[in-house]
Amino acid sequence: MSRNSVDDVVIFIESEMIGMRYLAEALSEGRRYLLEHESKGILDDWGLKTTGAYLARSEDEAADLARSVGYPVVLKVLSTQVVHKSDQGGVRLNLRDEPEVRKAYGEIAEAFRGSGLVGVSVQKMAAPGIEVIVGVTRDPTFGPMLMFGLGGIFVEVMKDVSFRSIPITLQDASDMVREIKGYPIIRGIRGISGDEEALQDLLMRVSALVEANLEIEEMDLNPVFLYQQGYTIVDARIMLGSAPRSPSAHKPAEGLRTLFYPRSVAVLGASNVKGKLGWNVFHNLLSHGFAGRLYPVNPRSAEVQGVKSYPSIKEVPVKVDVAIVLVPATATPQAIRDCCEAGIKYIIVESAGFAELGESGKKIEREMLSIAEAGGCRLLGPNCSGIINTHAGVVESIGVVDDLDPGKIGLIAQAGVYAAGYLWGMRRMVDFGAVATIGNKLDVNETDILETLGADDNIQVICMYIEDVKAGRRFLDVASRITPKKPVIVLKAGRTEAGIKAVSSHTASLAGNDQIYSAVFRQAGMIRARDNDHMFDLARAFASQPLPKGQGVFIVTYAGSLGVAAADGVSAGGMRLSELSGDLKERLIKILPAYVGGLNPVDYTFDQSPEQVKKTVEIGVESDDVGAFIVVLQTEILGTFFEALKSIDFRGKPVVAVAACKEFVLEDVIRFEKAKIPVYSTSERAAEVLAAMYHYSLWQKRAGR
């Protein structure tokens, strides 16, 4: 069990456990599927509460066991070939006397003769309760995943389930229960409720069991009857596999800071020919004020763009921090070997033509990685666009980049063209601190860069565009350490990609790839963006505004419909409209025109003026119930509100502005954005951003920040 789990629950386990011997026996026999009495034996050993299951190999044994258990009882087939007992007619319920038991045993024995029949399970008939399901599946990226949901139609049709990566904490267990749509049934309705504390204990124990026994590949506890006090596991199914290999120790990311703050950079393939990638990269480093030393490597030129050139990296007279490789793919392995022999520890391969082109490219990649590992080097790429760090004048992009101002936002992107496009398009409104492209992730991956930016004081907000994740558990652990300190906003491409599904358990069939990613993001406290606009909507606000100081939002508008839309968005996001106290309310009424009826939203119609907005907002600033502001401004005269809003002391409360059709007044919008007042095109988008900031503030408090 992990340290977090130990803090939350302590499970005492005897050294000799009958149930765990079942697991060892199954593995020794080469069986992947545990019979029900074996599965429940394991669960019983770990302190989980089951109906029990006792093996009967004859009618007489079944009758004796039923008498011992106490009527009514249930009989179920035990077979090495029957997984879904109910579906195949292998269950007899509510047997109330010995004749019924004997008859049921005979029917089951006859029906499954020749089908790997081991015997029949005899167990107590459980009292009905709220039906839930708990399961485990193994995800290829994140390892064992715990699942919870309501049973019956909720799981079969609605798929109302939640997931978390194992091991979980007690807070994770609570979140899993509360985030399903059917949670109100557990919380209580019409006098029926479920024992949440017992349910959380159940989830914690399953997590600990699987963490300690990695051979468990899938598990279904279905149904589990949840009562007002306690629970009972009615049916249990455990599938085994080979224990996964322990992941190799990752290379420490602390040293990757040198990638962002090098003192010297060499460019292999630097060029004097304008338009070539080697010209672009070297020009960017020269023109953005890199304060360190630059060493172009070009065997055919004595100088590159006015800087002394060297025919080989091994002839550079000093040890270089970072080498950028821009040579054809087939020449890349030798270039990396030369860099390693020259003592360079950080290599960026911006060349393309590798795994993305097929097996021949993959072969080159394997050779590159082998050389780098043997030389003790870290390798970024290939097929990337390098790193940009505006705080150090480092601009390694393969496209020519115009002037950049230092900013607080870090962007991690698998796709170099993607990053370059958004950098070009947004640099007038958004100041990036760092942009890192990781390409094919042969060595350095998204988690390495995330860990590095998480430790960089110049970066306050991290955005990620990812298509997949390597070393999923490490990704979760690193993100969980960073999110209490700074927001991590992630855009995962491939939302509709089908996950790896098995037919042996409900849990596996429900664990779609995208749902697993969403669960891991929630578990780590990351904020998932729907699309690029949403990600940068969030990033601009997080980078420019403080977090809301409370749940209440004060709305000022010039159009009633836009104010109503803002109010709807606030409510949908889990916030509420703030209420002014008596004295502040009186002060507001005095400055309002007679035709203004509401006090939140305050709707000035088309009579809205900068002075009115300023006075109204300043009254809201004084209210303890106002945690944030949405100011909907008249787009045609947007620029006239700039000085008024900029002059307000918001006392640490965030403000977001709305300007419908803002694309037609971009120069005014840019002025607001540069002044750290984000402007959105709809009230709903503004409210959604504030809600994300509010819920992130709750996450920080929960994490003890």
Between 3 and 521, name the one with better pLDDT. Answer: 521
DSSP H stretches of helix in 399-445: 416-426
- CB contact burial 13-35 (16+ within 10 A = b; e otherwise): eeeeeebbebbeebbeeeebbbb
Torsion angle (degrees, nearest 10) of CA 50, 56, 59, 65:
-50
Statement: residue 661 has pLDDT above 90: yes
Torsion angle (degrees, nearest 10) of CA 337, 340, 344, 348:
40
- Could you give the percent of the chain with pLDDT greater than 70? 92
DSSP string, 571-584: HHTT-EE----HHH
Statement: residue 11 has pLDDT above 70: no
Number of neighbours of residue 389 by Cβ within 10 angstroms: 26
The rounded distance, in Å, linking the Cα atoms of 428 and 405 is 9
Residues with Cβ within 8 Å of 127's Cβ and at least 6 positions away in sequence, in order, are: 225, 227, 232
The rounded distance, in Å, linking the Cα atoms of 482 and 84 is 43
If residue 553 lies in a helix (H) or strand (E), which one and from where to where? Answer: strand 552-557
What is residue 495's predicted lDDT score, i.e. its pLDDT?
61
Statement: residue 237 has pLDDT above 60: yes
| Strand partners for 262 | none
The stretch 645-662 carries a mean pLDDT of: 97
What is residue 358's predicted lDDT score, i.e. its pLDDT?
84
3-state DSSP call for residue 389?
strand
pLDDT band, very low/low/confident/very high, at 17 (cuts 50, 70, 90): low
> The CATH number of 255-459 is which of 3.40.50.300, 3.40.50.720, 3.30.70.20, 2.60.120.10?
3.40.50.720
Report residue 635 as tokens. 């787009």
Q: Are 461 and 486 in contact (CB under 8 A)?
A: yes
Of 530, 539, 542, 526, residue with least CA distance to 411? 539
DSSP H stretches of helix in 455-603: 472-482, 506-510, 513-524, 532-544, 560-572, 582-591
pLDDT band, very low/low/confident/very high, at 310 (cuts 50, 70, 90): very high
Statement: residue 486 has pLDDT above 50: yes
**Most confident by average pLDDT, 425-429, 614-618, 700-704:** 614-618
Statement: residue 500 has pLDDT above 90: no
Q: How does the average pLDDT of the chain come out, rounded? A: 90
Which amino acid type is present at position 374?
Answer: A
Give yes or no for a cis peptide into 128 (omega within 30° of 0). Answer: no
User: pLDDT tens for residues 598-640?
Assistant: 899 999 987 899 999 999 999 999 999 999 999 999 999 999 9
Domain ranges of the chain: 11-124, 130-240, 255-459, 546-702
Statement: residue 501 has pLDDT above 70: no
The rounded distance, in Å, linking the Cα atoms of 611 and 634 is 14
Statement: residue 251 has pLDDT above 70: no
Q: Is 550 exposed, middle or buried (0-12, 13-18, 19+ CB in 10 A)?
A: middle
| Strand partners for 268 | 297, 325
Q: Are 452 and 257 in contact (CB under 8 A)?
A: yes
Q: Are 694 and 626 in contact (CB under 8 A)?
A: no
The rounded distance, in Å, linking the Cα atoms of 656 and 673 is 10
- Could you give the percent of the chain with pLDDT greater than 90? 78
What is residue 255's predicted lDDT score, i.e. its pLDDT?
67
Topology given in CATH for the domain delimited by 130-240:
D-amino Acid Aminotransferase; Chain A, domain 1 (3.30.470)
If residue 304 lies in a helix (H) or strand (E), which one and from where to where? Answer: strand 303-304
The stretch 304-329 carries a mean pLDDT of: 97
Topology given in CATH for the domain delimited by 11-124:
Dna Ligase; domain 1 (3.30.1490)
Statement: residue 549 has pLDDT above 60: yes
pLDDT band, very low/low/confident/very high, at 330 (cuts 50, 70, 90): very high
DSSP H stretches of helix in 249-357: 257-260, 277-287, 332-341
User: pLDDT tens for residues 564-596?
Assistant: 999 999 999 999 999 999 999 999 999 998 888
User: Any idea which of 53-62, 490-499, 585-594 has the lowest mean pLDDT?
Assistant: 490-499
3-state DSSP call for residue 332?
helix
Statement: residue 513 has pLDDT above 90: no
CATH topology match: 11-124 vs 255-459: no
DSSP state of 358: -
The stretch 152-173 carries a mean pLDDT of: 88
Statement: residue 280 has pLDDT above 70: yes
User: pLDDT tens for residues 204-218?
Assistant: 999 999 999 999 999
The stretch 274-295 carries a mean pLDDT of: 95
DSSP state of 271: -
What is residue 470's predicted lDDT score, i.e. its pLDDT?
87
The stretch 499-504 carries a mean pLDDT of: 37
If residue 670 lies in a helix (H) or strand (E), which one and from where to where? Answer: helix 666-674
What is residue 662's predicted lDDT score, i.e. its pLDDT?
94
The rounded distance, in Å, linking the Cα atoms of 195 and 529 is 34
Residues with Cβ within 8 Å of 252's Cβ and at least 6 positions away in sequence, in order, are: none
Q: What count of Cα atoms within 13 Å lies in the side-chain half-sphere of residue 242?
A: 3
The rounded distance, in Å, linking the Cα atoms of 271 and 284 is 12
Statement: residue 508 has pLDDT above 70: no
The rounded distance, in Å, linking the Cα atoms of 349 and 439 is 9
What is residue 249's predicted lDDT score, i.e. its pLDDT?
45
pLDDT band, very low/low/confident/very high, at 254 (cuts 50, 70, 90): low
Q: Are 511 and 144 in contact (CB under 8 A)?
A: no
Torsion angle (degrees, nearest 10) of CA 575, 576, 580, 586:
140
DSSP string, 624-689: TT--EEEEE--GGGGGGGHHHHHT---TT--EEEE-TTGGGGHHHHHHHHHTT--EESSHHHHHHH
Q: Are 453 and 485 in contact (CB under 8 A)?
A: no
If residue 632 lies in a helix (H) or strand (E), which one and from where to where? Answer: strand 628-632
The rounded distance, in Å, linking the Cα atoms of 21 and 213 is 12
| Strand partners for 436 | 387, 412
> The CATH number of 546-702 is which of 3.40.50.261, 3.40.50.720, 3.40.470.10, 3.40.50.11540?
3.40.50.261
